[in-house]
Structure 1
């Protein structure tokens, strides 16, 4: 794959990775979260709330603008889809409108990417903060994020741009429970492989404010780079730093350019998936929160 001369790689971009600790050879990484899905760092019972430590590591980021059509879900773990939504901006704050209109649009985007017979179920969407639905057999398909103007200062919730290289629901946990619930209501799905995808879009743009960066599946060492993290409420996957990881983003992402990327698959790690994180693009410029 050739890189356009206009798409100069951005070097030394910090992405937060899970540290490679010897303890993980005999102990699973874990985090205990509060009702807002933030890690509890102080506890009355003095219990250790996490055995994870994470450190920013410098990576090279490449703008895929101009050749993003070359990436595919089945090869890279993600794909860019052109789609004009009937919803605009603040419409995405209206849960009923999102469920009545956007759910169908999201399903159409997934159908466009998969392009083969399948059944599609919207597990959930998120507007601002993580709802309790995720603790009762729900998972994410689409997510609207917001950030405080003071970000990255102060506590970071899941509603903020997440700087940790990760895959939501990658380990058996939140997504698997949601899928099991769907299968129990539709027994004919019991023997069919299932996959959890995210449909990710900006609701105002063009956007350069902490854009989404995605790691190319082909650059991941499945044996050494992925660590399942057990969260008390939810399981997920976090990524260990490797120089060979190839990170891509879409500068000036518009409201009609959607990412469809894979989080987990019942067939295991050998099916492409996409670790992802937000990063501070153009850090020396003033950007309004989006």
Structure 2
């Protein structure tokens, strides 16, 4: 029957007693207060279902998009070509009045430093937390449109593309918004400091947080999807935050290792973050 193809994935959730989440980054060093546990979960194959994935219902969708970029590891091409391609695509997919790019990150599942990339993101997380997303949206709008008319709705998104050949050894798992409780998630707050604190759980008076992401404890109701064998003309488009809570407004996600894929090379991907606005 459609929708019955699944794989088993080991996902890293917050440990139950890990409730104070802070990351301190100092020159040459960092510390994170979170503790994590691995849980085996079922991930459903999004290609093997009749379900039509809607970004305002599920929180994500798979879209076709051919890029003019010939080398995603070339920063000049990414800046000159891909930046505007992504903002145009987001505007088309969402119907927003304006879209602001927040830049991209390359990720590679093996030897990431060889191409200026980061490792795969292997924790269950969302890049913006409800505690900080409205402020980040307002700051991005003020920077891009200092004389703008303001906005009534803001959406933070990711456009995620694999540019290494399929299949992927570390695909991306997406949590169906309909299975995520409003109370799920804890803010993981980033601080830039001159030196690491002696007690990272101690007072943070006087420190200004840089950003807030969310990390998640295990919820057995979470329903996970993935799209195996992605090619370079496909993108996963999903939400980090939507100020309109009548729609799907966030998607926890995580990379996971898929030994069944039979991949012969490391996954190499680019994720581009944006804010979209409606006047």
TM over 0.5: yes
Q: Which has the higher contact order (CA 8 A, sep 6+)?
A: 2
TM-score, with structure 1 as normaliser = 0.74
Q: Which residue of 1 aligns with 2:54?
A: 72
Change (3 A) 1:168 1:205: same
Unpaired stretches in structure 1, ≥5 consecutive residues: 41-48, 127-143, 152-157
**Structure with the higher strand share, 1 or 2:** 2
Structure-2 separation of matches of 1:177 and 1:8 = 38
Q: Which residue of 2 aligns with 1:31?
A: 23
Name the SS for the 1:196 alignment partner.
strand
The alpha-carbon deviation at position 270 of structure 1 amounts to 6.3
Q: Deviations for 1:196-254, whole angstroms, at most 9, x for unmatched residues?
A: 1111000122232201110000011112x221121214320011111111111111111
Change (3 A) 1:168 1:64: same
Structure-2 separation of matches of 1:109 and 1:117 = 10
Name the SS for the 2:88 alignment partner.
helix
Structure-1 separation of matches of 2:190 and 2:259 = 33
TM-score, with structure 2 as normaliser = 0.77
Q: Deviations for 1:231-282, whole angstroms, at most 9, x for unmatched residues?
A: 2143200111111111111111111110111012334696421111001112
Cα RMSD (Å): 2.9
Moved more, 105-114 or 237-246: 105-114
Structure-1 separation of matches of 2:35 and 2:86 = 35
Q: Deviations for 1:115-144, whole angstroms, at most 9, x for unmatched residues?
A: x34111112122xxxxxxxxxxxxxxxxx2
Change (3 A) 1:39 1:207: farther
Change (3 A) 1:34 1:288: farther
Q: Contact (CA 8 Å) 2:133, 2:212: kept in 1 or not? A: yes
Name the SS for the 1:72 alignment partner.
coil
Structure-1 separation of matches of 2:261 and 2:62 = 27
